[in-house]
Structure 1
Amino acid sequence: MITDNEQQTLRSAFFDNAELHFILFDSELNVIDANESLLKFYHIERDAFVGKHILEVAPNAIEKGLYGQYMQVIQTGKPLIIEEIIGSPIYGNQYNRVKAFKVGNGVGVAISNITEYRNTIESLEVLSYRLSHDIKSPMTSVLELTKMALQEDPVDIDTLKAYCGLINESVSRLLETVEKVNESLKIQKVVPHFELIDFRTIIDEVKKSLASVEGYTSQNFEETIDCPFDFYFDKPIITSLFQNIIDNAIKYRNVKRDDSSLSINISGDKEFVKIILSDNGIGIKKELQKNIFKLFYRATSQAHGSGIGLYTLRYTIEKLGGRIFFESTEGQGTTFKIIIPNKIGIINPAD
C-alpha cells in the first residue's frame, strides 16, 4: 500500500511527463497549474504563466469561444471537446484537440497536438489526387498512342519512331511520379540520429554543393551564428533545412535586382535554437502562401522543383518537436523562421 505522499509523487510525475498538455484553471479562469510538458513545449517560464488570467496568456480566448466554453463547463459540470487552431509568430499554426472538464470549482484542460495527424490526412488526400491525375494521364496517353500506332496501315518507320517517342515521354512522366511518391513515403520511415551540430560547417558544405546552381554567384550571403551551447539534432534534417531554403533563395531570386541577398541568423540557448533565413527575392503571392508546405506543391514556375522539399522539411522538423513558419511579400522577399529543440542527452535508437 503506497502512502499519500508517494501517491502524490506518482501523480506529479505523470502530470509533468505526459505528452498531453495539462492546465488547471480556478472558477474565474486564473491559471492554477500547468504541467512541464506544456511549459517546455511553448518555452514558457512557470512564473510567467501560472497565476495569470486566461486573457493574459490567451488574449483571443473570448474571440475564439474558449472563454465561454470553459465557463460553461464550470457552470454545468459537463465536459466539452473542442478543436482549435493556435497561430503563433514563433511556432506557426498548430491544431489542438482540447478536452475541458470540471475539477473542483474550476476547470481542467487536456490538450493534445493533432497537427501531425491533420497534416498526414491532408497529405494523403493530395497524394490520392496526384496519383489519380499524374498516373492516369500518362497511362491514358500510352494506351491512346498504342491504339493509334496499331491502326496505322501500313506504318512507316518514321511514324513508328514518332509514336515511340511520345510513349517514352508519357512513361518517363509516370516513372517520375512514382519516384516522387516513393520519396514522400520514405520520409515517414526515417529514424533520427542526434549528434552535435556544427552550423558553420553545414552551411559551408551546403553552399559548396549549390555553387554550380545558376544564380549562385549573384547571391550575397550574410551569416550570424550565436549559439553558445552545444546543440544536438539530426544532422541530415539540419542539412536539408539549409539545402532547401538556400536553394530556393537562389532559384527564386529577383533577376531584376543586382543585390540579391540571403541573411542567415542563428541564435540559441540550452533548450532551443532559432534559425531565421530572409531573402529579397520574388516572394510568394498571398493567395498561394497557404499551400507551400503541401506535398507536390510549387508556388511558381520560375524554376523547376519536385514540390517535396518544403513538405519534407516541415514534416521532419515538426515530428521532432520543432516549428517552421514563414512570412512573404510578393516582389520583396521571404523570411523563414524555424524553432528546433535541443536533443542533447537523448539516447539514439542504436545506442
Structure 2
Amino acid sequence: MMRAEKSSFSNREAQQIIQYLPDPCLLLSVEGYILAASQAFYLITDTDEKILGEFLFDVFPENPDSPQVNAVSSLQYSFMEAVCSKQPHHIPLQQYDIPKGGKPSDGFIRKFWRAVNVPVLDEQGQVKYILHRTEDVTEQINDKKQIKDLTALTEELLMQEQLARQEAERQREYVFNLLMQTPVAIAIYEGSNFVVRFANEKLLEFAGRSREQILDRSLFEAIPEIAQHGFEVALKKVYTSGESLVQFDVSVRLTRHQTPEQAYFHIIYNPFRNLQGEIVGVIVACTEITGQVEAKEKLVQIMQDLKERNFELDQFVYKTSHDLRAPLMTILGLVRLIKGEPLPDSVSQYVDLIENRVNKLDGFIKSTLDYSRNTRTDVEYEKIDLNGLVKETFAALELMKNFERLAISLHIADGDFYSDLFRLRIIFSNLISNAVKYMDTSKAENCLNITIKVDDKLAKIHLYDNGMGIEKAYQDHIFGMFFRATEQSEGSGLGLYIVRQAVMALKGTITFRSKPGKGTHFLVILPNRMVN
C-alpha cells in the first residue's frame, strides 16, 4: 500500500459511531489513514486519540528486531485484497509487534493477532472505508496448550474464508443497528435541499412518521411544519460554513400521528463530509426535552402561586398583629394608671399579673411583626452608628426585670459600617434581652461583654455573658421557630429564629458556644456593604 496524501476527512462522525464498539476496531481510509478507533482498540494497543488522522504504518511500523516476521507487508497484502476484491479478507494468525506506549523508540512488545479487513462500500459500490477488526491472541499463543500446528491453522484459514461474507455482513449490521437503536434521534441530510438519507427509529418517533414518509425526500417536504422554526437557517449555516452548531430548548410545533402538539428539543448540527473532505450534507442529533420543559413550567407556576400565597399570608399576619397591638397598648396604659392608685395588696397582685401577661402577649406580637417585616422587606444599606444603636437597645430594654443587675461593658473598634438598621435592631435587641432573661441570679455578678470589630469587609460582633448557659441537648435546636430551651423562659420562642433570619438576609453568619452554668458566647459576622 503506497502512502498517499494525508486524508483531510473529518472523522468526528465516524469516531462517534466506532468508539463505543465493544471489539478492537479501526476505521481506515482506502489510503491507509486512521479515521476512527474504538476504545477497545486504544486499550489493547496502549494508544489514544492522537493516532487519528495518522498513516497506519507510521503508528505501527515494522519491529526492526524481528524483520523476518514481515508484519507490515502481510497486513498491507490483506488490506489491498479487501480493497480490490471488495470482500472481507481474514488474517487467521499473525505476529505483529507494537511499540511500547505508542513510541517505537522505546522498543516493541511481542504480540499475536487475529484480524479481518472488511470493505465498506458507498452507494456506487466503490470501497469507501476499510473496517479493521482485530483480536489479541498473544496469551493463547503463549499458553502451550493453545498452540496449534500448521495444519490446524490452515484448516482455520479455510473456515474463516468461508465465513468472510457472514462476518462482513455482521459488521455492517452491527453498526447499522447501533445507529438505529441509539436513544438519540439521528438523521443525515444530503445536499443543499437536505434530502433525508438516513433516519433512525428515534427520529421517526419524534417526527411521528413512517420511514417511507421521510426517506429520500427533502426534510421540509417530509416534515413541512418545521420550516418556520429556523431549522433551514441552521442547516444552511452548517452546510456552508462547515462549523458545528448547538441549539438548546428549541420549541417546535409538530403534527405527530395527525395530532398537533408542542415539543422541545436540544439539537446538534455537524457537517457531513466525503472522503475528499467536501461537505456533502449535515448530520443532526437531537434529544426531546418536552417532559422536562413542561415540568419546569409547572414548577415555575407553583412557585409563583406559592409566592403569592406567602405574600397574602404575610400581609394578613402583619395587619392582624398590628391591629392587636392597639388594644393591648390601651390595656397596658390602663393597668399603669390603676397601679398609680393606692390598691389593696391582693388587688395589686392581680394587676401585676395582668401587666405581665399583657407584656408577654405584646412581646409575641412584636416578634411576629419583626418576622413579617424581615421576610417581606428588602435590605436597605446605610451607615450605622453602632455605638448609638447598642445604647438605644439598652434604653429600650431597661424596664426588663433584672436588667439593672446586668453589668454591661461595650467595646467598639473604629471604622465605618454599612448595613440594614432594622435588621441590626432585631439582632441586638434579641441577643441582649436573652442575656437578661437567662442570667444566673444566684451569681454575685452578672456580666455582658459586647465587643465589635469593623474593617472594610466585615463586622464581627461578640456577645459574652456569664448566665445560665444552654444545655448540650438543646444546642442544635435553639434557632428553631418557637423553641424554648428552659421552662424559665416566658418568651415566644421566636427570638433566635428571627435573629438567624435577619443574619441570613444580611448574608452573614451566627454561631455560638455555651456551657451550662458558665455562660454563652454569640458571634455574628456581617459583611460591610461599603458604599461610594
Please report the TM-score for the alignment, with normalisation by the length of structure 2: 0.31
Rg comparison, structure with higher value: 2
Higher relative contact order, chain-length normalized (CA < 8 Å, sep 6+): 1
